């Protein structure tokens, strides 16, 4: 029973981590209004002339122009992925503050998941072996 409890706790922990990663990767809940969607996209687009600032946070003229372009694209019916793709096609992937979830940069998203899963595997194995050792001793 105790052993089962440990497994349940580990599974719940794994689900919680996976859910957190998913929410983090998807950028949380998407806004419904145009302004919210524009703000959401603009906060993920790097201001090309600033140091680590997003288009949303910057007051540089090119940042304002980029935000206007994003607004027009969103009004035109483009999704977050389509707007990001269109910017990457012109500026390259460095225009995004976080790496894209495709191509080589997909590794950046996958590596933490793989490391966490491997860590969980090692922990589960450790506890499994320990509990087995205990049962032998008894």
137 scored as a contact of other proteins (CB under 8 A) = no
DSSP assignment of 3-33: HHHHHHHHHHHHHHHHHHHHHHHHTSSPPSS
The whole-angstrom separation of Cα 9 and Cα 103 is: 35
Choice from 69, 78, 113, 116 touching other proteins (CB under 8 A): 69
Q: Which stretch binds other proteins (CB under 8 A): 7-15, 19-27, 28-36, 65-73?
A: 65-73
Q: How far is CA 93 from CA 22, 46, 48, 60, 99, in A?
A: 21, 10, 12, 20, 7
Q: Any contact of residue 100 with other proteins (CB under 8 A)?
A: no
Residue with smaller CB distance to other proteins, 9 or 49: 49
Instruction: Using the minimum distance from each CB to other proteins, give the nearer residue, 39 or 69.
Output: 69
24 versus 119: smaller Cβ distance to other proteins: 119
Quick one: tokens of 137? Answer: 């001793």
Binding footprint of other proteins on the chain (CB under 8 A): 48-49, 61-62, 65-66, 68-69, 88-92, 95, 104, 107
């Amino acid at each position: 029973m105790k052993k089962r409890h440990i497994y349940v706790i580990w599974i719940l922990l794994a689900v919680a981590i996976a859910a957190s990663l998913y929410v983090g990767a998807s950028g949380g809940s998407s806004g419904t209004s145009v302004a919210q969607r524009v703000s959401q996209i603009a906060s993920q687009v790097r201001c090309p002339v600033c140091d680590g600032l997003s288009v949303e946070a910057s007051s540089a003229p090119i940042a304002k122009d980029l935000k206007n372009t994003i607004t027009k694209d969103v009004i035109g019916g483009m999704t977050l992925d389509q707007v990001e793709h269109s910017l990457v096609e012109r500026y390259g992937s460095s225009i995004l503050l976080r790496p894209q979830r495709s191509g080589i940069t997909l590794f950046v998203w996958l590596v933490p998941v793989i490391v966490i899963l491997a860590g969980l595997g090692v922990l589960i194995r450790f506890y499994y072996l320990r509990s087995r050792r205990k049962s032998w001793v008894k």
